[in-house]
């Protein structure tokens, strides 16, 4: 698959999934599944972490939406599938952790600890992925 096209699609998918995740958290707050204090603590944890890579993805997408690559590079299907699997696993795990808290299978603190773990593991991978797929190219 074309690197730029894949990066754009992956970036869009990450943005949509994160938007849905934040809507999910807001719905949990509205339904009183999360109390105000828990809701605020989650936002204080997640917003700084997510804003880092989301801003890079938005910047990449805005700069490359209509550009045709000067040199077309292709990614192997194994690489593409591994990235999709890791990103999907990361996003699904966040939804599952919040859901487990809602059904009271996890305490709030356990959920936060697991979210920090998931974000840390994904953060290392995201740094690698963002550097390779969403790198800034000087004009």
Q: What pLDDT score does 114 carry?
A: 96
Question: Measured between alpha carbons, how far is 76 from 89 in angstroms, rounded to an integer?
Answer: 20
For the stretch 24-35, pLDDT in tens is: 999 999 999 999
Q: What mean pLDDT is predicted for residues 31-44?
A: 92
For the stretch 117-129, pLDDT in tens is: 998 888 777 767 7
Give the structural domain span for 125.
3-34+41-64+74-133
How does residue 55 score in pLDDT terms, banded at 50, 70 and 90? Answer: confident
The pLDDT of residue 131 is above 70: no
- For residue 104, tell me if it sits in a domain: yes
- For residue 126, tell me if it sits in a domain: yes
Residues 6+ positions from 134 with CB-CB distance below 8 Å? 7, 11, 56, 57, 60
pTM: 0.81
CB 10 within 8 A of CB 133: yes
- For residue 49, tell me if it sits in a domain: yes
- For residue 69, tell me if it sits in a domain: no
Number of domains composing the chain: 1
């Amino acid at each position: 698959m074309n690197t730029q096209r894949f990066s754009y699609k992956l970036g869009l998918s990450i943005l949509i999934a994160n938007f849905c995740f934040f809507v999910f958290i807001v719905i949990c707050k509205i339904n009183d599944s999360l109390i105000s204090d828990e809701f605020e603590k989650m936002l204080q944890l997640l917003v700084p972490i997510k804003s880092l890579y989301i801003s890079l993805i938005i910047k990449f997408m805005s700069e490359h939406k209509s550009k045709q690559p000067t040199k077309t590079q292709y990614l192997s299907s194994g690489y593409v599938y591994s990235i999709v699997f890791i990103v999907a696993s990361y996003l699904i795990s966040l939804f599952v952790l919040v859901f487990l808290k809602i059904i009271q299978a996890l305490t709030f603190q356990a959920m936060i600890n697991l979210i920090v773990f998931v974000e840390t593991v994904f953060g290392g991978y995201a740094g690698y992925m963002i550097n390779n797929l969403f790198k800034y190219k000087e004009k």
